[in-house]
Amino acid sequence: MAGDSLLSERRADGSAWITLNRPEVHNAFDDRLIVELTAALSNLGADDAVRAVVLTGSGRSFSAGADLNWMRRSSTYGEAENMADARALAILMKTLHELPKPTVARVNGAALGGGAGLVACCDIAVASADARFGTTEVRLGLIPAAIGLRQARRLMLTGERIAAAEAARIGLVHDVVPPERLDAAVAALLEDLLKGGPGALAAVKRLLRDLTGRPIDVELVDDTARRIAALRTTAEAQEGVAAFLAKRQPVWLS
C-alpha cells in the first residue's frame, strides 16, 4: 500500500505500524509523503481488522518536519499553490487526530516542526530518552503547526528545542524510556489498548473530541447519557459484560 518512503505493516495482534522511511533526510516530509501518509491513515481507520495504529520513524529520527527541497520548491509557489500545500498538511494532522482507532507515537528520535505536530496528534506518545522536540518554524520566517499546549506559546515563539524529559513535563509525551526499552514500552501500551472493545475505543475518541472544552451543563449531561445508553445496547457491550460475568475473554481477544 505504501511506497518506499512510507512503510505500513499490519501485525498479528491487530495493530498496524506506519514507519516514516526517509532516514537520509531524518524522515522529513514533502508533499508526496503527506498525501501517502494521509491515505495510509484513512485506509487503516476504515479497516475493521486494525485495532490500533503506531506511528514511528526509521533511523535516528522520528521526523525533522518539512523537507528542505520541498520548502525550496514551495518558496516559488503562488498563493493558490501554497494554500493547497498548507491545506494538505492540515488535512493530514486532522486525519491523524480524528482517527477512530487509538494511535501511539513511538518517538525514536528528533521530532521537530511538523514532526512534533504528528506527535501531538497521536493519542499516546512514548519517547526515547534521547529524543528532542521543537517547533522551530519561526527561525525560518514561518509559523508552526499547533500542538495544543499552554507551553506552545513559548515553544512556538522561541523555536527552542527541548529534551524528552521536558516534553513529558509539559504533556507533549506521556512516557520517556531508555532507547533500548522503547519497543517494550510500546508493546505494553498496545497490550492494554487492545483489551478494549473496538467500538468502545472509537466512541471514547469521539467523546473526547466532541466534549473537550464544553461547559458541564444540562446539555452536556444529556449528551453523555445518550452516548452511554446507546453503547449499552450494542452487541459489543453485551458481549463484554457477559464475558466479564463468565470470567472469560471477550470475542475481540479470542
Active-site residue, selected from the candidate residues 79, 137, 180, 239: 137
Exposed e or buried b per residue across 153-163, where buried means at least 16 C-beta atoms within 10 angstroms of its C-beta: eebbeebebbe
- Answer yes or no: 166 catalytic: no
Q: Which three cell numbers stand for residue 145?
A: 503547526
| Those residues with Cβ within 8 angstroms of residue 239's Cβ, 6 or more apart along the chain or in another chain | 197, 250, 251
The H-or-E segment that residue 104 falls in is strand 103-107
**C-alpha–C-alpha distance, residues 13 and 196, integer Å:** 13
Q: Which three cell numbers stand for residue 125?
A: 506518545
Per-residue CA distances from 84 to 29, 34, 78, 105, 134 (Å): 16, 12, 10, 26, 25
**Where in the sequence numbering do the catalytic residues fall?**
137
